[in-house]
Structure 1
Amino acid sequence: MMYWLVLVFFILLSHTKAEKVLLGKIKVPDINGDDRTVYSSDESLRRLVESLMERVDRQDAKIQSLEMVVKDTMEDLKRKENKISQLERELRTVLKPYQNLANNRKDMPAENSTGPSRPRNIISDDMDVIHSGQESVMDSNKEQSSSKSVRVLPNGSGAFSVSLSGQDLALHPGLVIAFDEVQLDVDGNYHPGDGVYTVPVSGVYVFTWCITGTTTDNVVTELIVNGSPRGTAFSDAESGHTWDSSTGVIVTSVHADDHVFIRSKFSGSIHSSSSYGKARFSGWRLT
């Protein structure tokens, strides 16, 4: 503001001097032929000063407006900087667990150069061990000396799995279901001719069987040990006239030379095929 006042002062000073030099006294011709002298009016000077003051006021208003814009811009920048700092802190917090994980991986020993090991398929690996029978026992010392340990099942493990060949089998009360296809029989204790499994070693065993009843027939089957029922499975195929499957699972204690088999409790019909699933009977010793 002081700058503009000084500027107005010098402009007024120069304008006054110019008026004295250029205007001074002005001779105006009279109609009677006589010249008369008049002095310049102060009105033009007043108007000039007012115009300059108005111009100064407008410039001052513009400066104040620009100052407000600059102030708002600075405050906005400050808020954005605070927001960026907050986001950086949050990002570091989120990434910290992953950085720790990466550091832990760096500290882990390198894997074998032969490549990653294949995930162990428990079922297939155990079946391979069971099939090996006595050969697995004879080679157990060699296996123990290798880098990969293998669980070896000894003789008397009692594992077996059998199924019924593709057919529809009509049932009647007390019929022993003879599963005629043998997939697994470690100790040779299952007899496909009569469907009876003979327990090789006393212990706790798991027995399971799966039966599919055909349309309009409810099928009830039992797990029998030496003539006594230990468990029952019910296939409700009659309701809705559709096929229905049931699976029984029994954990029970048995003794050596006990006879275990599946028997129908009532009349009915069961289905067994590769397309829709075969009737199956399996078991193995736990302890």
Structure 2
Amino acid sequence: MLLMNNILQVMADVQSLKDDVRQLHTENVDLRRQLFSGNTRGCSGTSQCTESRTPVAFYAYYSNHFTSLSKGSAFVYDTVETNLGNGYNKTSGIFTAPTSGLYAFTWTLHVAGEDVIKSNSHSQYGEMNAVLTQNGAKKGAIVADTEVKYDTGSATGFVLLETNSGDQFQITTEWDGQGDVYSDDTYGRTTFSGFRVS
């Protein structure tokens, strides 16, 4: 009788182990499906999960040179190469985050003295700053300065920012610039771009 009870107990334990293995296999398949679909947050097809997998990225630049901006002016990049998520507005120069997450932003500024571009700026030097704002708050700044008459200069900024859906980002100036801002295939582009990292 004792031997029979032991055999029945072993059979019950084996069945329990088989059930555990089946459950682990099912969980493993689900986790692999989430991993390979880019869904690592345990989402199961909800709109929030779909939104988090939709890429968000933009890249815009000036198509032409122009005289430096005055204090408080906004950069309005008129040529848009990439606008996944439709967050960048080329009329206002504002990027509005369509979804929350960690975002990377970069902007480049090129300046020149008057003889380089032959404009009406009447300044031998090129000097200007460009500030990235998030909802009006300063998050990063660069300064491009020629230092030498009739020369060119450039600067690039890069930041990572936690962002909420609807946050607005813009490049502005904090003081009056000198000379010209340039943007072409010869001297380089004055640009603004960003993308959601996660």
Q: Same fold (TM over 0.5)?
A: yes
- State the match for 1:154 in structure 2: 53
* Separation of aligned partners in 1, 2:173 and 2:139: 13
The CA distance in 2 between the partners of 1:226 and 1:183, in whole Å, is: 24
Could you tell me which residue of structure 1 aligns to residue 3 of structure 2? none
Runs ≥4 residues deviating over 6 A = none
Larger RCO, structure (CA 8 Å, separation 6 or more) = 2
1:158-189 C-alpha deviation (Å, 9 max, x unpaired) = 21101111222430111110001000001111
Mapped pair 1:271 → 2:182: yes
Q: What is the identity, as a one-letter code, of the residue corresponding to 1:221?
A: A
Provide the aligned length of Structure 1 versus Structure 2. Answer: 134
Task: Please state whether the residue corresponding to 1:234 is helix, strand or coil.
Answer: strand
Within-5 A mapping of 1:4-83: none
User: RMSD over aligned Cα, in angstroms?
Assistant: 1.5
Q: Which has the higher strand share?
A: 2
Please name the residue that 1:34 is paired with. none
Q: Is the 8 A contact 2:58 2:82 kept in 1?
A: yes
Normalised TM-score (structure 1): 0.45
Amino acid at match of 2:183: S
Counterpart contact for 2:108–2:192, Cα < 8 Å: yes
In structure 1, what is the equivalent of residue 168 of structure 2?
A: 259
Describe the superposition over 1:8-53 as per-residue Cα deviations: whole angstroms up to 9, x where unpaired.
xxxxxxxxxxxxxxxxxxxxxxxxxxxxxxxxxxxxxxxxxxxxxx
Which residue of structure 1 aligns with residue 101 of structure 2? 203
Partner of 1:163: 61
Distance (whole Å) between structure 1 residues aligned to residue 159 and residue 57 of structure 2: 14
Match in the other structure for 1:43: none
Shift of 1:273: 1.4
- Which residue pairs with 2:158 in the alignment? 249
Deviations 1:249-268 (A, max 9, x none): 01111111011011112112
Segments of structure 2 that go 5 or more residues without pairing to the other structure are 1-36, 38-51, 114-124
Aligned partner of 2:140 in structure 1 is 231
CA distance in 1, matches of 2:160, 2:85: 20
Measure the CA separation in 2 of the matches of 1:180 and 1:173.
20
Report the AA paired with residue 83 of structure 2.
D
Identity, in percent, stands at 27
Q: Supply the AA of the counterpart residue of 2:107.
A: W
